[in-house]
Chain A
Amino acid sequence: MKICVLVKEVPDAAVEKRINPSTGRMDRSGEKNLNPFDTHAIEAAMQLKEGGNMEVDEVVAVTMGPESAVRALHKAVSLGADRSVHLTDEALAGSDVNGTGYALAQALAKESPDLVLLGQQSDDGECYTIGAVVADHLQMPSLTQVIKIDVEDGALRCERQAEYGYDTVQVQLPAVISVGDAINEPRYPSLKAIMGAKKKPLETLATGDVGIEGDRVGFENARAHCNDFKAPPAKSAGQIIEDEDTGETVEKIIAWLDERKLIA
């Protein structure tokens, strides 16, 4: 069995993200990291591989992104992936959800995975949707925001929170599953794994290698076009107290609440 894990390089949590006003696209310069939600997807793959309830031959990390995204793949490999695939092409830059999902599906189809795992959201785009887009292209059953996966009769028994409580869904393979961060506690890579990550096989693909049609990807072909960025209606800034002397802090809170008649 082969598991593909979709990963993404995102701006580091500490970097203030902004839109480049001249391009209308996110300024992704500065420190970058593997999308934290994806580390849970890799961990989920590793637990399936190590759990013994299903025979997992390999875990393949797959990303789409510029040259620098190789670092996200190295990180994924250091966390346990056996090899990685990097879909990179100038033609893909600025793709929207539709184009990105289509391109990733084309790259995944070449791998014919039995299971595709990904994090439920990216730390930057926050779209939650790539898994379901990819699944429709691959014609695989799909479930997002999954917080528990058990192997049962060769299928996956998944749990997730939906509108009316917790749902348990049986999903047959091959499938596309996006996972929430409650699913596991990702391991830390060993120093040896970090050092060895660059030696693991890494395949670089361009659009032509996986039959991606040029008019379906890239900024110019985005089906949904973002522009005219504006600031949200200003909300008056709240008062901030830095707690140095807790007794004093509590007095201030009580005075604030009392002024608003919140302690009846």
Chain B
Amino acid sequence: MAGILVYALHYEGQINKNSLGAVSEGARLASELGTECHAIVVGEKAGLPDDLVGSLGAYGASKVFRVDGPEGLAQPVVDAMAKVISDNGHEYALFGGGLLGFEIGAGLTARLDAGVCMEVTAVRVEEGKLVAERPILQDSQIADVHYRSGVGVIIGRLNAFEATQNGAGDAAVEDVDVEFAAHSLKASMVQRGEQRGANVNIEDADVLIAGGRGLGKAEGFEALEALAGAFGGAVAATRAVVDAGWYSYSAQIGQTGKTVSPKLYLAAGISGAIQHKVGMQGSENIVAINKDSNAPIFEFSDLGIIGDLNKIVPKLTEAVKAKKGG
């Protein structure tokens, strides 16, 4: 049968939110195509009980394939999906936003000689086929992508697909034995999900002051903390500065971090790469301070200030304090 197979990532007893969105999207598309949406989970069996796996039915999966295998690595999932697709004849493989989906989708592309489109923001049905929309060139254009292969691989952008519980009850669970390729077992997880830096809560803050590489050094965050303090808000960070060890991972916005939508998002020294944008574009008001007038962030900010943040931020902090005090 034709159909859509969605990869569902899980960690510590929960299915990833972007995966749930992909299952919902897969179910919507499958019903329009007159076919079924299935999901696949790969991991240690103890972490994939029937109730967790079956709960994907609520998001629209009619069946879930459960594969006992290593967690957190892409290549065993490529083997598992290739087998399930070849046994069941799925026409599309769908992934929610995130890092593993890129890796698995890419591996599957090679394995199945498939067409692939990544960073997909919307999918529609046209003449019985799926057409993916992908923003390109810093989101200045949107391309339609048509598949001309037996299997089409669709990798969603972070938060592109909304998780909706439109399904009917629990999904059937089918255990599948997969013989993993030799190379798929040559990478092994030593430690997964290490949290670096202090645990901070940024998701509930009405005001977020976010810092990027433009701060120049870790100490640059002190001025942002003062500004956040004046607003009664919290401080967030880009991946570049978190990877550099300047700030906590728990405060990171974007692709492999948090998604936020505060009333005010003030970005200081952030260029505005797509991987950052996808985590904060839902903010009600976006203010950007950057010395580079060509920074992409000015394309999607409501107020842009071209200037030196080291001069502006301390004065702004004083002014906010004065305003609040007055």
Residues in chain A within 8 A of chain B (CB atoms): 17-19, 26, 96-98, 101-102, 105, 126-137, 139-145, 147, 157, 161-172, 175, 180-182, 216, 222-232, 235, 238-243, 246-247, 249-251, 253-254, 256-258, 260, 262-264
Q: A135-B107, A232-B139 are in contact. List 7 more A-B contacts (CB 8 A).
A: A98-B110, A129-B118, A141-B184, A141-B186, A167-B192, A171-B187, A235-B300
The reply to whether the CB of B308 lies closer than 8 angstroms to some CB of chain A is yes
- Checking B111, B232, B316 against A264 with a beta-carbon cut-off of 8 angstroms, the contacting residue is B232
Residues in chain B within 8 A of chain A (CB atoms): 9, 11-12, 16, 72-75, 78, 98-100, 102-107, 109-111, 113-119, 134-149, 152, 181-184, 186-196, 206-207, 231-232, 239-240, 242-244, 249, 256, 263-264, 274, 285-287, 293, 298, 300-308, 311-312, 315-316, 319-320, 323-324
In the complex, what residues of B have CB within 8 A of residue A171's CB? 186-187
Beta-carbon contact of B146 and A169 below 8 Å? no
Beta-carbon contact of A161 and B316 below 8 Å? no
The verdict on A128 contacting B118 (CB below 8 Å), with A170-B187, A182-B240, A253-B316 known, is yes
Complex-state Cα separation, A135 to B12, whole angstroms: 28
A94 smallest CB distance to B (angstroms): 13
- Checking A98, A140, A228 against B109 with a beta-carbon cut-off of 8 angstroms, the contacting residue is A98
Beta-carbon contact of A127 and B109 below 8 Å? no
The verdict on A144 contacting B110 (CB below 8 Å), with A175-B186, A181-B240 known, is no
Beta-carbon contact of B115 and A222 below 8 Å? yes
In the complex, what residues of A have CB within 8 A of residue B184's CB? 141
Complex-state Cα separation, A76 to B140, whole angstroms: 30
In the complex, what residues of A have CB within 8 A of residue B239's CB? 161
In the complex, what residues of A have CB within 8 A of residue B140's CB? 231-232
Counting chain B CB atoms within 10 Å of each CB, the highest count among A140, A175, A224 belongs to: A224
Beta-carbon contact of B183 and A226 below 8 Å? no
Beta-carbon contact of B99 and A162 below 8 Å? yes
B298 smallest CB distance to A (angstroms): 7
The verdict on A182 contacting B244 (CB below 8 Å), with A223-B149, A263-B323 known, is yes
Beta-carbon contact of B306 and A136 below 8 Å? no
- Checking B74, B285, B315 against A132 with a beta-carbon cut-off of 8 angstroms, the contacting residue is B74
Beta-carbon contact of B305 and A169 below 8 Å? no
The 7 closest A-B pairs by CB, nearest first: A243-B307, A223-B115, A224-B115, A182-B243, A132-B106, A129-B106, A136-B110
B198 smallest CB distance to A (angstroms): 13
- Subset of 5 A-B contacts with CB under 8 Å: A136-B75, A162-B99, A169-B190, A241-B305, A263-B324
In the complex, what residues of B have CB within 8 A of residue A247's CB? 315
Beta-carbon contact of A223 and B196 below 8 Å? no
Complex-state Cα separation, A128 to B107, whole angstroms: 12
Complex-state Cα separation, A238 to B240, whole angstroms: 25
In the complex, what residues of A have CB within 8 A of residue B285's CB? 260, 262
Complex-state Cα separation, A262 to B306, whole angstroms: 21
Complex-state Cα separation, A132 to B187, whole angstroms: 13
The verdict on A162 contacting B256 (CB below 8 Å), with A250-B315, A258-B323 known, is yes
The chain A residue with its CB closest to the CB of B321 is A263
Beta-carbon contact of B116 and A239 below 8 Å? no
Beta-carbon contact of B148 and A222 below 8 Å? yes
Beta-carbon contact of B115 and A101 below 8 Å? no
In the complex, what residues of A have CB within 8 A of residue B195's CB? 165-166
A103 smallest CB distance to B (angstroms): 12
In the complex, what residues of B have CB within 8 A of residue A165's CB? 192-196, 249
Complex-state Cα separation, A36 to B222, whole angstroms: 30
A1 smallest CB distance to B (angstroms): 16
Beta-carbon contact of A223 and B116 below 8 Å? yes
In the complex, what residues of A have CB within 8 A of residue B104's CB? 132
In the complex, what residues of A have CB within 8 A of residue B306's CB? 240-243
Counting chain A CB atoms within 10 Å of each CB, the highest count among B116, B249, B300 belongs to: B116
In the complex, what residues of B have CB within 8 A of residue A167's CB? 72, 189, 191-194
Beta-carbon contact of B146 and A224 below 8 Å? yes
Complex-state Cα separation, A161 to B320, whole angstroms: 35
Complex-state Cα separation, A127 to B287, whole angstroms: 28
B262 smallest CB distance to A (angstroms): 10
